[in-house]
Amino acid sequence: MTIIKKSPDNPVIRLGISACLLGEKVRFDANHKLDTYIRDTLGQYFDFVPICPEVAIGLGVPRPTIRLVGDPAQPRVVGVLDPSLDVTAPMEQYGRRMARELPPLAGYLLKSKSPSCGMERVKVYQDKGVPKMGRGLYARELMAGRPLLPVEEEGRLGDPVLRENFIERVFCYHRWQQLEAQGLTPARLVDFHARHKLVLMSHGAEYYRALGRLVANAGSADIKTLAQDYIHGFMAALAHPATRKRHTNVLQHLMGYLKKQLDSADKVELLEIIEAYRLGEVPLIVPITLLNHHFRRHPNEYAAQQIYLAPHPRELMLRNHI
């Protein structure tokens, strides 16, 4: 297992990845599926742990093509030209082993449509009729073994909403891993929840309220059990992409902390920018930038602690497109 780092002196967040997406020639035809956005843009911020499960179980390069057949919920992986080539058991076993043995990861990027790595909508061929849709066997076992792990396919990163959602989940999960490394305490759990309040509200105020009820028991309940319940609920909430309407509510909520500091002209300008965002005329980064400008001029302790205002490096330009 090789970990590709930007710099050994500058460790960054670690992602698992299908090796072909980084240009490794591990495909069935001895080629690759290099994704330059992943390599050149995300590679500036993440360490990659590249894996090709088909090579790992001994299929080699080049190799016979394989596909999923049978029950979409429990398909078999067999050779396209030689159905007697059945690698179902070794593929499942490898996925389970990697779920246990991989180093701590903050996310995973999978190759779409692959019978091993495809996260969704992988063709499962039937004896007769149109193929049904399932999930690659390695991906299935990995996701079952690490249910909290943010997982996405390279093809879906072209959708700005899905791209933003995945990377937001990666950074949030990484912060949780840092919290666990420091040592969970009731105070630290309460602080984590407070700092992510607006992040959660952008996905749905109901998630923030439900998790708040859990955190309210932080001083009395077993902290390890409570923390596991919390992070499962937290990551499930973030899996629901934020919406323009909910972002607008969060922006208006933040503006409320400036109502005594801004003059009438600044208030009108900020309201107009938020409304322009609501109508889809400007991307989210525009009102966020203006709010950050005002909070620099008028510091506010509550706003300063909110992850929402700076959830990931601005150079990723994620909020420029949603």
pLDDT tens string 297-316: 999 999 999 999 998 888 78
What is the phi-psi region of residue 12: left when phi exceeds 0, alpha when psi lies from -120 to 50, beta otherwise? beta
What is the predicted pLDDT for the residue at 318?
Answer: 83
What is the predicted pLDDT for the residue at 284?
Answer: 96
Sign of the dihedral defined by the CA atoms of residues 113, 153, 29, 14, in that order = negative
What is the predicted pLDDT for the residue at 6?
Answer: 54
pTM for the model stands at 0.93
First to last CA, the chain: 36
Cα–Cα dist 224/25, whole Å: 43
Residues of the chain below pLDDT 70:
1-11
- Computed over its alpha carbons, how large is the radius of gyration of the chain? 22
What is the predicted pLDDT for the residue at 5?
Answer: 54
Task: Classify residue 280 by its DSSP letter.
Answer: T
> Side by side, which strands form the sheet with 151-153?
46-51, 13-18, 107-110, 151-153
Q: Which amino acid is at 25?
A: K
Alpha carbons within 13 A on the beta-carbon side of 61:
15
> Strand pairing partners for 46?
13
Cα–Cα dist 174/7, whole Å: 19
Closest by alpha carbon to 37, among 235, 318, 320?
A: 318
> Strand pairing partners for 134?
122
What is the predicted pLDDT for the residue at 1?
Answer: 53
Q: Which long-range contacts (CB under 8 A, 24 or more apart) does 26-34 make?
A: 26/52, 26/54, 26/55, 26/61, 27/61, 28/54, 28/61, 28/62, 28/63, 28/64, 28/65, 28/66, 29/62, 30/61, 30/62, 33/111, 33/154
Cα–Cα dist 112/122, whole Å: 8
Cα–Cα dist 294/283, whole Å: 18
Beta strands in 263-322 (DSSP E): none
- Quote the crossing angle between the two packed helices 160-182 and 223-238, to the nearest 10°: 170
